[in-house]
């Protein structure tokens, strides 16, 4: 069950480029996702991990992405009647893991010169600021500046490729805030299971270390794309090779990423993959120029 988006949510999303959505996902559903995530993460050593496209083979995440109504919430925030699913990743940061993900905006990773791009990050367990909470710079989406992407060291197969993108490195806003308290308006919230943060593809965000001694920070992020996106197949973007063959540079997208929400219409729900791919990041890396 997905909670309704109200006028204040929409207004804040438009004004600040990010909004906290308390109880967007009911706790029971968040618990099922967390349990499924723990099962998927058993083979992984302790650390910081991103499991990309888990919804393609895991039935619990597949049902949530395609049948829970989460895409409808994204469409209400963006004010559009049609969205495509660009991607969805599970983020896990174990107790004591120090690696941060530096300030970045998602549009820099993706092959678009502009786009309606809405991310919804759902807390699957409780999250505090000391547990690597998601931090955002409100209204940074209005700057329309692409910053250098950042990939964690656990995704070494694409780290060097993506981070070689020729964009400016953003300031360390967290460090500036520590040196000049109150000078930087950073949004960060303690969250309960099922709480969510929605933000645009242009909004700067960051996560730090998980200082907890016992709690895993566990979140699930989905990215929804509007048909206004102009395809820009520049190097260093996360673009599967098969999409490069069917999309036309400089034109609005007309295929590739599947339609997940259409107001008043049906969408085609893809079937589950028979097995998890060996390494999704390696597949993405092979699709680079």
Between CA 149 and CA 169 the distance in angstroms is 8
Q: What pLDDT does 280 receive?
A: 57
Between CA 226 and CA 173 the distance in angstroms is 29
Query: Number of helices (H) and strands (E), helices first, in the chain?
Result: 8, 11
The structure tokens listed for 106 are: 């998602």
> Which CATH class for the 7-263 domain?
mainly beta
Nearest CA among 54, 72, 78 for reference residue 201: 78
Question: For 174-228, what is each residue's pLDDT tens digit?
Answer: 777 777 677 688 999 999 999 999 999 999 999 999 999 999 999 999 999 998 8
Token pair 């499924």: residue: 36
The structure tokens listed for 262 are: 């259409």
Pairing, β 205-207 against β 48-52: unpaired
Question: For 5-48, what is each residue's pLDDT tens digit?
Answer: 999 999 999 999 999 999 999 999 999 999 999 999 998 889 99
Nearest CA among 104, 93, 99, 108 for reference residue 46: 93
Question: For 128-153, what is each residue's pLDDT tens digit?
Answer: 999 999 999 999 999 998 888 777 76
Write the DSSP symbol of residue 197.
Answer: E
- Evaluate whether 120 touches 73 at the Cβ level (below 8 Å): yes
Q: How far is CA 19 from CA 1, 7, 94, 145, 271, in A?
A: 19, 12, 26, 20, 32
What number of other Cβ atoms are within 10 A of residue 263's Cβ?
11
pLDDT at 114 over 90: no
* pTM of the model as a whole: 0.91
Write the DSSP symbol of residue 211.
Answer: -
Q: How far is CA 97 from CA 91, 130, 132, 146, 216, in A?
A: 13, 11, 9, 28, 9
Between CA 159 and CA 104 the distance in angstroms is 14
């Amino acid at each position: 069950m997905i909670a309704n988006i109200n006028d204040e949510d929409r207004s804040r999303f438009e004004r600040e480029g990010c909004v906290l959505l308390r109880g967007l996902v009911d706790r029971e559903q968040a618990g099922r996702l967390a349990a499924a995530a723990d099962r998927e993460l058993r083979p992984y050593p302790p650390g910081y991990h991103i499991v990309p496209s888990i919804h393609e083979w895991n039935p619990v995440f597949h049902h949530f992405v395609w049948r829970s109504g989460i895409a409808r919430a994204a469409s209400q925030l963006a004010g559009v009647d049609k969205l495509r699913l660009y991607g969805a990743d599970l983020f896990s940061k174990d107790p004591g893991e120090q690696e941060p993900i530096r300030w970045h905006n998602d549009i820099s990773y993706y092959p678009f010169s502009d786009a309606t791009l809405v991310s919804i990050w759902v807390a699957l367990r409780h999250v505090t600021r000391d547990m690597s909470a998601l931090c955002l710079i409100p209204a940074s989406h209005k700057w329309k500046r692409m910053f250098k992407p950042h990939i964690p060291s656990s995704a070494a197969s694409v780290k060097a490729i993506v981070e070689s993108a020729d964009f400016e490195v953003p300031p360390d806003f967290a460090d500036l805030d520590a040196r000049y308290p109150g000078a930087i308006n950073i949004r960060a919230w303690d969250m309960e299971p099922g709480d969510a943060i929605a933000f645009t593809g242009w909004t700067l965000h960051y996560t730090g270390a998980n200082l907890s001694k016992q709690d895993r920070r566990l979140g699930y992020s989905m990215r929804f794309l509007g048909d206004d996106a102009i395809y820009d197949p520049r190097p260093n973007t996360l673009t599967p090779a098969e999409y490069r063959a069917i999309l036309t540079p400089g034109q609005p997208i007309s295929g590739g990423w599947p339609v997940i929400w259409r107001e008043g219409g049906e969408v085609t729900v893809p079937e589950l993959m028979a097995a998890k791919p060996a390494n999704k990041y390696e597949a993405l890396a092979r699709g680079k120029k």
